[in-house]
Amino acid sequence: MSVTVKTKYLGELRTENQHLQSGEVIITDAPVDNRGKGEAFSPTDLLATALGDCIMTIMGIKAMDNNIDIKGTELNITKIMNDSPRRVKEIIVEVNFPKKAYADKDKLLIERVASSCPVALSLHPDVKQSFIFNW
């Protein structure tokens, strides 16, 4: 088993995370409401983003396998925090597809796979996952 990410604490509630396979780097910062500067993604922002990216990837795979063009699809991701205990309470993913003449069967096929992505299946059941599909 090989290491996936190397993380370094930079001080002042900030981390630098390097994806070892690609060399890509992501900085995180604590949010303003939790003693941080809010100058970068917070760890919980990344959690919400991971859900959205995973959904998009799974939908993309299903679309490719069925010759459905969803290129240009955009997500609006909203993270709602709980105060006590401090944790993510809900993630709302609004999926905005390009204006195309999608068949109803294709819409249903794409929508059904969204909640089956690995991140969605890995989140604790107390984290509400809400999906809105705008065709």
Predicted local confidence at residue 25, as pLDDT: 98
Predicted local confidence at residue 88, as pLDDT: 98
| CA distances to 21, 32, 84, 96 from 118, in Å | 20, 30, 27, 21
Predicted local confidence at residue 32, as pLDDT: 93
Domain boundaries 43-134, CATH class = alpha beta
- Tens of pLDDT along the chain (135 residues) come to 999 999 999 999 999 999 999 999 999 999 999 999 999 999 999 999 999 999 999 999 999 999 999 999 999 999 999 999 999 999 999 999 999 999 999 999 999 999 899 999 999 999 999 999 999
CA distance 36 to 12: 7
Of the candidates 13, 75, 5, which has an alpha carbon nearest to the alpha carbon of residue 43? 13
Extract the tokens encoding 11: 């001080």
Q: Where are the domains of the chain?
A: 5-34, 43-134
CA distance 125 to 115: 12
